Amino acid sequence: MKRKIRMGMVGGGPGAFIGAVHRAAARLDGKIDLVCGAFSSSHEKGLKTSNELFLPENRCYPDYETMFEYENDLPESERIDCVAIVTPNHTHFDIAMKALENGFHVICDKPMTVNLTQAKALAEKVKATGLIFCLTHNYTAYPMIKQAKAMIESGEIGEIRKVITEYPQGWLASAIEDTNKQAGWRVDPAKTGISCCMADIGSHAENLTEYISGLKITELCADLGTFVLGRNLDDDGSVLLRFDNGARGIIFASQIATGEENALKIRIYGTRGAIEWAQESPETLRLKYNDKPRQLLRRGWSGAEVANELSRLPAGHPEGFIEAFANIYSAFANAIIARVDFDDKFIPDFPSVDDGVRGVAFIEAVVAS
């Protein structure tokens, strides 16, 4: 492929957090050009974003339907290859379905949809169209997560017995939803679906747990709570887990854990050792054993060869959230390039529509419990 991938974005207008992250992640490796967008339901706001991005005005569209239609009429040498969906949860399904119908590959924020029916329908559509669909469960793309997954697969810690995944945040500890746009839609059942905390961050915890351990959750028992008065959805939850190999576990997620930032952490205990990773210091795996000293395995260093493949910098030069997110975008871009170049040996390495289905199923099971 002799050119960059061309991408359009739906959502990500003024005040959005995740849209800017998607754009930075898409830019970082120089494989993707954002060439158009329907950034906001307000066309004026959309234009503001578009101008800030130095995009031509005629490719700032008032809505996604228009974008898909016009882009499809452009010559192949200008037309977008793919669409990034960064809108609130309840709109993902319609936008993604339409994008696929128009022949565009899709990269979509999580949770994929607001219910399992939608999720399954979307998975059907992806299979039917043969197009590439990527879900931005970005935490799985940290180099040291890939390293941990590889080490677990290779037997480093033996058979897994216990998994503890926690995800405390504090930002929703008081009723900020009236003034904070990000909080507003997340606690609104009309926009976010049947769950706030478990859908927004619990689903990341679930995805990371299954990804890194290679296990599947088979049973669960949940205790969801709403601590801030006036909310209609959970802002805290704890879940006891059983896995398909007999292991047990806990997922604990909270948005009322005052003072916590974004403290996703996973600990996996096996018969021979344990692996621990914390998102706020993502470049280190803590390895623990009963019969030898603890190890701090660091990105960029000897022993972290899998992670080093996914690194842009030497050890001691911190990489973070955007770099991990960019790994998702890079893998997505590589998949499109492979498709364009007819490379049928390419194996995609990013969260798929099936991961999205499992995530929505987890949310429904937790709420039902």
**Segment near a second copy (CB under 8 A); pick from 114-122, 171-179, 187-195, 339-347:** 171-179
Q: Should residue 162 be labelled a site residue for a second copy when binding is judged by CB under 8 A?
A: yes
Q: Should residue 94 be labelled a site residue for a second copy when binding is judged by CB under 8 A?
A: no
Short-list 187, 203, 183, CA closest to 119: 203
Q: Should residue 93 be labelled a site residue for a second copy when binding is judged by CB under 8 A?
A: no
Q: Tell which one of 19, 88, 143, 273 touches a second copy (CB under 8 A).
A: 273
Distance (Å, rounded) from C-alpha 270 to C-alpha 275? 8
- Site residues (CB under 8 A) for a second copy, limited to 187-226: 221, 223, 225
Cβ atoms of 46 and 121 within 8 Å: the answer is: no
Q: Should residue 99 be labelled a site residue for a second copy when binding is judged by CB under 8 A?
A: no
Q: Should residue 156 be labelled a site residue for a second copy when binding is judged by CB under 8 A?
A: no
**Segment near a second copy (CB under 8 A); pick from 60-68, 111-119, 148-156, 234-242:** 234-242
Which pairs with CB-CB distance under 8 Å and at least 24 residues apart come from 340-343?
Answer: 340/1, 340/81, 341/1
Q: Should residue 15 be labelled a site residue for a second copy when binding is judged by CB under 8 A?
A: no
Q: Tell which one of 13, 202, 270, 351 touches a second copy (CB under 8 A).
A: 270
- Eight-state DSSP code of residue 78: T
Q: Should residue 184 be labelled a site residue for a second copy when binding is judged by CB under 8 A?
A: no
Q: Which two tokens stand for residue 334?
A: 């590589």
Short-list 278, 146, 286, CA closest to 205: 278
Q: How far is the CB of 353 from a second copy (least distance, A)?
A: 25
Q: How far is the CB of 116 from a second copy (least distance, A)?
A: 25
Q: Should residue 48 be labelled a site residue for a second copy when binding is judged by CB under 8 A?
A: no
Distance (Å, rounded) from C-alpha 22 to C-alpha 209? 23
CA distances from 307 to 77, 262, 284, 299, 368 (A): 36, 22, 10, 6, 38
How many positions of this chain bind a second copy (CB under 8 A)? 85
Q: How far is the CB of 157 from a second copy (least distance, A)?
A: 7
Q: What is the dihedral of CA 256, 258, 263, 265, to 10 degrees?
A: -70
**Segment near a second copy (CB under 8 A); pick from 68-76, 78-86, 269-277, 333-341:** 269-277
- Phi first, then psi, for residue 217 (nearest 5°) are -75, 130
Q: Which two tokens stand for residue 326?
A: 């960019």
Q: How far is the CB of 52 from a second copy (least distance, A)?
A: 9
**Segment near a second copy (CB under 8 A); pick from 64-72, 74-82, 276-284, 353-361:** 276-284
